[in-house]
Amino acid sequence: MRALLIVNNKSRNGGADVDAVLARFRHNGVAVLHSRTDQPDQIATAIREHAGKVDCVVVGGGDGSLNAAAPALIDTGLPLGVLPMGTANDLARTLKIPSDLAQASDLIGTGCLHRIDLGRVNGHYFFNVANIGLGVHVMRHLSPEVKRRWGVLGYARSLLTALRSFQPFHADIVCDGRRHRMRTIQIAIGNGRYYGGGMTIAEEASIDDHCFHLYSVEPVKVWDMLRFAPALRAGRFEPHHPINIEQGRGIEITTRKPMPLSADGELVTHTPARFELLAGAIGVFVPTAYFDDRQELRRAAQG
Protein backbone atom coordinates (compact mmCIF):
# COMPACT_ATOMS: atom_id res chain seq x y z
CA MET A 1 0.00 0.00 0.00
CA ARG A 2 1.15 3.53 -0.80
CA ALA A 3 -0.01 6.34 1.49
CA LEU A 4 0.23 10.11 1.32
CA LEU A 5 0.77 11.43 4.86
CA ILE A 6 -0.05 15.12 5.32
CA VAL A 7 0.58 16.70 8.73
CA ASN A 8 -0.82 20.14 9.57
CA ASN A 9 1.92 21.86 11.58
CA LYS A 10 -0.62 24.37 12.93
CA SER A 11 -2.80 21.73 14.61
CA ARG A 12 -2.47 21.44 18.39
CA ASN A 13 0.00 18.54 18.20
CA GLY A 14 1.18 19.20 14.65
CA GLY A 15 4.76 19.59 15.79
CA ALA A 16 4.91 16.09 17.24
CA ASP A 17 7.65 13.74 16.12
CA VAL A 18 6.15 11.29 13.62
CA ASP A 19 9.19 8.99 13.41
CA ALA A 20 7.34 6.31 15.39
CA VAL A 21 4.39 6.64 13.01
CA LEU A 22 6.63 6.26 9.97
CA ALA A 23 8.26 3.20 11.58
CA ARG A 24 4.86 1.58 12.12
CA PHE A 25 3.93 2.27 8.52
CA ARG A 26 7.11 0.54 7.32
CA HIS A 27 6.47 -2.40 9.65
CA ASN A 28 2.96 -2.80 8.21
CA GLY A 29 4.21 -2.67 4.62
CA VAL A 30 2.93 0.83 3.89
CA ALA A 31 5.14 3.04 1.69
CA VAL A 32 4.73 6.68 2.68
CA LEU A 33 5.01 10.00 0.89
CA HIS A 34 5.41 12.41 3.81
CA SER A 35 4.37 16.07 3.59
CA ARG A 36 3.92 18.89 6.12
CA THR A 37 2.01 22.13 5.72
CA ASP A 38 1.24 25.30 7.67
CA GLN A 39 -1.84 26.05 5.56
CA PRO A 40 -4.90 23.74 5.76
CA ASP A 41 -6.07 24.96 2.34
CA GLN A 42 -2.97 23.31 0.85
CA ILE A 43 -4.13 19.86 1.99
CA ALA A 44 -6.63 19.41 -0.85
CA THR A 45 -4.04 20.61 -3.37
CA ALA A 46 -1.50 18.05 -2.15
CA ILE A 47 -4.07 15.24 -2.37
CA ARG A 48 -4.97 16.09 -5.95
CA GLU A 49 -1.31 16.40 -6.97
CA HIS A 50 -0.45 12.93 -5.63
CA ALA A 51 -3.72 11.16 -6.42
CA GLY A 52 -2.25 8.93 -9.11
CA LYS A 53 0.72 7.89 -6.98
CA VAL A 54 -0.95 6.67 -3.77
CA ASP A 55 -3.67 4.29 -2.60
CA CYS A 56 -4.87 6.33 0.40
CA VAL A 57 -4.48 9.64 2.23
CA VAL A 58 -3.53 9.95 5.91
CA VAL A 59 -4.17 13.34 7.52
CA GLY A 60 -2.43 14.33 10.74
CA GLY A 61 -4.35 17.18 12.34
CA GLY A 62 -7.66 18.13 13.88
CA ASP A 63 -11.18 18.34 12.51
CA GLY A 64 -10.37 21.47 10.53
CA SER A 65 -7.57 19.66 8.70
CA LEU A 66 -9.86 16.73 7.88
CA ASN A 67 -12.54 19.12 6.69
CA ALA A 68 -10.01 20.75 4.37
CA ALA A 69 -9.23 17.34 2.86
CA ALA A 70 -12.86 16.41 2.15
CA PRO A 71 -13.30 18.04 -1.30
CA ALA A 72 -10.20 16.33 -2.67
CA LEU A 73 -11.19 12.98 -1.13
CA ILE A 74 -14.54 13.25 -2.93
CA ASP A 75 -12.86 14.23 -6.20
CA THR A 76 -10.22 11.48 -6.13
CA GLY A 77 -12.13 8.69 -4.36
CA LEU A 78 -9.11 7.97 -2.16
CA PRO A 79 -9.78 6.45 1.29
CA LEU A 80 -8.82 8.33 4.45
CA GLY A 81 -6.66 7.49 7.43
CA VAL A 82 -6.85 9.73 10.51
CA LEU A 83 -4.02 10.68 12.88
CA PRO A 84 -5.68 12.67 15.72
CA MET A 85 -3.38 15.68 16.25
CA GLY A 86 -5.89 18.46 16.91
CA THR A 87 -7.61 19.88 19.99
CA ALA A 88 -11.02 18.20 19.88
CA ASN A 89 -10.48 15.33 17.38
CA ASP A 90 -14.23 14.75 17.22
CA LEU A 91 -14.17 12.74 13.98
CA ALA A 92 -11.54 10.43 15.49
CA ARG A 93 -13.72 10.09 18.60
CA THR A 94 -16.74 9.25 16.45
CA LEU A 95 -14.76 6.58 14.59
CA LYS A 96 -13.15 5.14 17.78
CA ILE A 97 -9.68 5.89 16.42
CA PRO A 98 -7.05 5.73 19.21
CA SER A 99 -5.49 8.99 20.37
CA ASP A 100 -2.09 7.29 20.39
CA LEU A 101 -0.57 8.15 17.01
CA ALA A 102 1.32 4.89 16.58
CA GLN A 103 -1.83 2.86 17.29
CA ALA A 104 -3.84 5.07 14.94
CA SER A 105 -1.27 4.54 12.18
CA ASP A 106 -1.63 0.76 12.55
CA LEU A 107 -5.18 1.05 11.23
CA ILE A 108 -3.86 1.94 7.78
CA GLY A 109 -2.33 -1.50 7.48
CA THR A 110 -4.62 -3.58 9.66
CA GLY A 111 -7.91 -1.69 10.16
CA CYS A 112 -11.20 -2.03 8.33
CA LEU A 113 -12.11 0.22 5.42
CA HIS A 114 -15.60 1.52 6.13
CA ARG A 115 -17.71 4.04 4.20
CA ILE A 116 -19.15 6.98 6.12
CA ASP A 117 -21.57 9.79 5.32
CA LEU A 118 -20.61 13.37 4.55
CA GLY A 119 -22.69 16.50 4.97
CA ARG A 120 -22.79 19.41 2.54
CA VAL A 121 -24.19 22.88 3.22
CA ASN A 122 -24.31 25.49 0.47
CA GLY A 123 -21.61 23.50 -1.33
CA HIS A 124 -19.29 23.15 1.70
CA TYR A 125 -18.56 19.66 3.07
CA PHE A 126 -18.51 18.69 6.75
CA PHE A 127 -17.94 15.49 8.73
CA ASN A 128 -19.23 16.37 12.19
CA VAL A 129 -21.65 19.22 12.87
CA ALA A 130 -22.75 22.56 11.44
CA ASN A 131 -23.89 25.37 13.77
CA ILE A 132 -26.04 28.47 13.51
CA GLY A 133 -26.32 30.81 16.48
CA LEU A 134 -24.61 30.26 19.81
CA GLY A 135 -22.20 27.64 18.47
CA VAL A 136 -20.76 30.15 15.98
CA HIS A 137 -20.19 32.66 18.79
CA VAL A 138 -18.46 29.96 20.84
CA MET A 139 -16.16 29.31 17.88
CA ARG A 140 -15.34 33.03 17.62
CA HIS A 141 -14.33 33.14 21.29
CA LEU A 142 -12.26 29.96 20.84
CA SER A 143 -9.04 31.55 19.65
CA PRO A 144 -5.89 29.53 18.85
CA GLU A 145 -4.41 30.87 22.09
CA VAL A 146 -7.39 29.56 24.11
CA LYS A 147 -7.07 26.15 22.40
CA ARG A 148 -3.36 25.93 23.19
CA ARG A 149 -3.79 27.02 26.81
CA TRP A 150 -7.01 25.24 27.75
CA GLY A 151 -7.28 22.37 25.27
CA VAL A 152 -10.76 20.77 25.21
CA LEU A 153 -11.76 22.80 28.30
CA GLY A 154 -11.51 25.88 26.11
CA TYR A 155 -14.87 24.93 24.55
CA ALA A 156 -16.66 25.18 27.91
CA ARG A 157 -14.87 28.43 28.73
CA SER A 158 -15.87 29.95 25.38
CA LEU A 159 -19.48 28.78 25.82
CA LEU A 160 -19.82 30.64 29.13
CA THR A 161 -18.39 33.78 27.52
CA ALA A 162 -20.75 33.55 24.53
CA LEU A 163 -23.86 32.91 26.67
CA ARG A 164 -23.55 36.32 28.31
CA SER A 165 -24.03 38.27 25.09
CA PHE A 166 -25.87 36.15 22.52
CA GLN A 167 -29.45 37.03 21.55
CA PRO A 168 -32.27 34.69 20.36
CA PHE A 169 -33.36 34.64 16.72
CA HIS A 170 -36.18 33.21 14.58
CA ALA A 171 -35.58 30.49 12.01
CA ASP A 172 -37.69 28.66 9.45
CA ILE A 173 -36.62 25.01 9.19
CA VAL A 174 -37.79 22.60 6.49
CA CYS A 175 -36.68 19.01 7.15
CA ASP A 176 -37.66 16.44 4.51
CA GLY A 177 -40.68 18.61 3.69
CA ARG A 178 -41.74 19.24 7.32
CA ARG A 179 -41.80 22.96 8.09
CA HIS A 180 -41.14 24.49 11.53
CA ARG A 181 -40.93 28.08 12.75
CA MET A 182 -38.68 28.37 15.81
CA ARG A 183 -37.39 30.98 18.21
CA THR A 184 -33.99 29.69 19.19
CA ILE A 185 -30.49 30.48 20.41
CA GLN A 186 -28.75 27.55 18.74
CA ILE A 187 -29.32 25.17 15.82
CA ALA A 188 -26.97 22.24 15.34
CA ILE A 189 -27.10 19.87 12.36
CA GLY A 190 -25.08 16.71 12.87
CA ASN A 191 -23.76 14.31 10.28
CA GLY A 192 -21.44 12.58 12.74
CA ARG A 193 -21.84 11.85 16.44
CA TYR A 194 -19.45 14.16 18.33
CA TYR A 195 -18.56 17.85 18.10
CA GLY A 196 -17.23 20.68 20.25
CA GLY A 197 -14.70 18.58 22.13
CA GLY A 198 -16.88 15.55 22.89
CA MET A 199 -20.46 16.86 22.86
CA THR A 200 -22.97 14.43 21.36
CA ILE A 201 -25.41 15.61 18.70
CA ALA A 202 -27.86 12.83 19.60
CA GLU A 203 -27.58 9.68 21.69
CA GLU A 204 -28.51 7.45 18.72
CA ALA A 205 -26.51 9.31 16.05
CA SER A 206 -23.73 7.74 14.01
CA ILE A 207 -21.79 8.86 10.97
CA ASP A 208 -23.13 6.07 8.77
CA ASP A 209 -26.87 6.18 9.58
CA HIS A 210 -27.70 8.11 6.37
CA CYS A 211 -29.51 11.00 8.07
CA PHE A 212 -28.88 14.34 9.73
CA HIS A 213 -29.72 14.85 13.40
CA LEU A 214 -30.87 18.41 14.14
CA TYR A 215 -31.61 20.07 17.44
CA SER A 216 -32.71 23.61 18.24
CA VAL A 217 -32.34 25.12 21.73
CA GLU A 218 -35.15 27.40 22.90
CA PRO A 219 -34.15 30.66 24.63
CA VAL A 220 -33.41 30.03 28.30
CA LYS A 221 -31.65 31.80 31.13
CA VAL A 222 -27.96 31.10 31.62
CA TRP A 223 -28.54 29.10 34.81
CA ASP A 224 -31.23 26.99 33.14
CA MET A 225 -28.85 26.32 30.28
CA LEU A 226 -26.20 25.15 32.72
CA ARG A 227 -28.69 22.84 34.44
CA PHE A 228 -29.43 20.84 31.30
CA ALA A 229 -25.87 21.15 29.94
CA PRO A 230 -25.07 17.50 30.91
CA ALA A 231 -28.01 16.30 28.78
CA LEU A 232 -26.88 18.56 25.94
CA ARG A 233 -23.37 17.14 26.13
CA ALA A 234 -24.65 13.55 26.14
CA GLY A 235 -27.29 14.13 23.45
CA ARG A 236 -29.79 12.54 25.82
CA PHE A 237 -32.88 14.74 25.79
CA GLU A 238 -36.08 14.51 27.82
CA PRO A 239 -39.53 15.97 26.98
CA HIS A 240 -39.10 18.74 29.57
CA HIS A 241 -35.85 19.98 28.06
CA PRO A 242 -36.07 23.17 25.94
CA ILE A 243 -34.99 21.26 22.83
CA ASN A 244 -36.67 20.68 19.47
CA ILE A 245 -35.39 17.64 17.55
CA GLU A 246 -35.60 16.62 13.89
CA GLN A 247 -34.05 13.99 11.61
CA GLY A 248 -33.83 13.95 7.84
CA ARG A 249 -31.66 13.86 4.72
CA GLY A 250 -32.56 17.26 3.28
CA ILE A 251 -32.75 20.42 5.42
CA GLU A 252 -33.28 24.08 4.55
CA ILE A 253 -32.90 26.88 7.10
CA THR A 254 -33.75 30.53 6.57
CA THR A 255 -33.49 33.48 8.98
CA ARG A 256 -34.79 37.06 8.74
CA LYS A 257 -31.26 38.36 8.26
CA PRO A 258 -28.29 36.30 6.99
CA MET A 259 -26.57 34.55 9.89
CA PRO A 260 -23.08 33.01 9.87
CA LEU A 261 -22.82 29.22 9.79
CA SER A 262 -19.86 27.16 10.92
CA ALA A 263 -19.06 23.57 9.95
CA ASP A 264 -16.44 21.41 11.68
CA GLY A 265 -15.37 24.49 13.63
CA GLU A 266 -14.80 26.74 10.58
CA LEU A 267 -16.96 29.63 9.39
CA VAL A 268 -18.02 28.56 5.88
CA THR A 269 -21.28 30.25 4.81
CA HIS A 270 -24.43 32.13 5.88
CA THR A 271 -28.16 31.49 5.94
CA PRO A 272 -30.20 30.72 3.95
CA ALA A 273 -28.63 27.29 4.20
CA ARG A 274 -29.39 24.15 2.21
CA PHE A 275 -28.11 20.86 3.62
CA GLU A 276 -27.57 17.68 1.61
CA LEU A 277 -26.49 14.27 2.91
CA LEU A 278 -23.99 12.26 0.87
CA ALA A 279 -24.50 8.71 2.13
CA GLY A 280 -21.39 6.50 2.20
CA ALA A 281 -19.38 9.19 0.44
CA ILE A 282 -15.90 8.49 1.87
CA GLY A 283 -13.99 5.36 2.87
CA VAL A 284 -12.16 5.60 6.22
CA PHE A 285 -9.89 3.16 8.06
CA VAL A 286 -11.51 2.32 11.41
CA PRO A 287 -10.82 -0.16 14.24
CA THR A 288 -13.11 -3.10 15.02
CA ALA A 289 -14.12 -1.18 18.16
CA TYR A 290 -16.15 1.11 15.92
CA PHE A 291 -18.44 -1.74 14.87
CA ASP A 292 -18.82 -2.88 18.48
CA ASP A 293 -19.99 0.63 19.36
CA ARG A 294 -22.46 0.64 16.44
CA GLN A 295 -24.00 -2.61 17.69
CA GLU A 296 -24.47 -1.07 21.14
CA LEU A 297 -26.18 1.95 19.58
CA ARG A 298 -28.56 -0.32 17.63
CA ARG A 299 -29.43 -2.29 20.76
CA ALA A 300 -30.09 0.92 22.69
CA ALA A 301 -32.30 2.24 19.89
CA GLN A 302 -34.33 -0.99 19.84
CA GLY A 303 -35.10 -0.99 23.49
3-state SS record for the chain: CEEEEEEECCCCCCCCCCHHHHHHHHHCCCEEEEEEECCCHHHHHHHHHHCCCCCEEEEEECHHHHHHHHHHHHHHCCCEEEEECCCCCHHHHHCCCCCCHHHHHHHHHHCEEEEEEEEEECCEEECCEEEEEHHHHHHHHCCHHHHHHHCCHHHHHHHHHHHCCCCCEEEEEEECCEEEEEEECEEEEECCCEECCCEECCCCCCCCCCCEEEEEECCCCHHHHHHCHHHHHHCCCCCCCCEEEEEECEEEEEECCCCEEEECCEEEEECCEEEEEEEEEEEEEECHHHHHHHHHHHHHHHC
- Provide, rounded to the nearest whole percent, the portion of the chain with pLDDT above 90: 64
What domains appear along the chain, each with residue ranges and CATH number? 2-110 (3.40.50.10330), 124-279 (2.60.200.40)
Of 51-60, 95-104, 183-192, 221-230, least confident by mean pLDDT is: 221-230
Residue 249 has a pLDDT of 96
Residue 230 has a pLDDT of 85
Provide the pLDDT confidence category of residue 158 given band limits of 50, 70 and 90. Answer: low
Q: Above 70 in pLDDT, residue 219?
A: yes
Q: Above 80 in pLDDT, residue 87?
A: yes
pLDDT single digits (tens) 235-285: 998 888 889 999 999 999 999 999 999 999 889 999 999 999 999 999 999
Residue 143 has a pLDDT of 52
pTM score, whole prediction? 0.88
**pLDDT averaged over every residue in the chain:** 88
